[in-house]
Amino acid sequence: MADVIERTQTKAPVPKPGFLQAAALHLLTRAAVIETAVDLSPHFRSITLAGRALQGIAWAPGQKLQIQMRGLTFRTYTPILWDAVAGRTQVVAYRHGEGRGAAWAAAAEAGDPVLLFGPRRSLDFAGLERPALFIGDETSIGPAAALLETAQGADEMRFLFEATSAAESAAVLGKLGVHGAEIVERQAGDGHYAALEAMAVAAFEADRQQSVVLTGKAATIQRLSRALKARGAVSGQLKTKAYWAPGKQGLD
Interacting residues with ligand FAD (CB under 6 A): 64, 75-78, 91-94, 96-97, 99-102, 122, 138-139, 142-143, 241, 243-252
Contact 88, 48 (CB under 8 A): yes
State the minimum distance, in angstroms, from the CB of residue 206 to ligand FAD: 28
Backbone angles phi, psi at 84, to 5 degrees: -75, -15
State the minimum distance, in angstroms, from the CB of residue 5 to ligand FAD: 12
> Burial level of 42, CB count in 10 A (0-12/13-18/19+)?
exposed
- Closer CB to ligand FAD, 13 or 247, in the complex: 247
Beta-bridge partners for 39: 45
In this structure, the chain runs to a length of 252
* Residue of minimal Cβ distance to ligand FAD: 99
Contact 73, 103 (CB under 8 A): no
Contact 21, 72 (CB under 8 A): yes
Contact 250, 76 (CB under 8 A): yes
State the minimum distance, in angstroms, from the CB of residue 67 to ligand FAD: 9
- The H-or-E segment that residue 244 falls in is strand 238-244
- Closer CB to ligand FAD, 14 or 33, in the complex: 14
State the minimum distance, in angstroms, from the CB of residue 168 to ligand FAD: 13
State the minimum distance, in angstroms, from the CB of residue 63 to ligand FAD: 9
- Closer CB to ligand FAD, 17 or 99, in the complex: 99
Handedness of CA 151, 155, 160, 161 (dihedral sign): positive
- Closer CB to ligand FAD, 136 or 201, in the complex: 136
The identity of residue 114, as a single letter, is V
- Closer CB to ligand FAD, 21 or 249, in the complex: 249
State the minimum distance, in angstroms, from the CB of residue 62 to ligand FAD: 9
- Closer CB to ligand FAD, 131 or 175, in the complex: 175
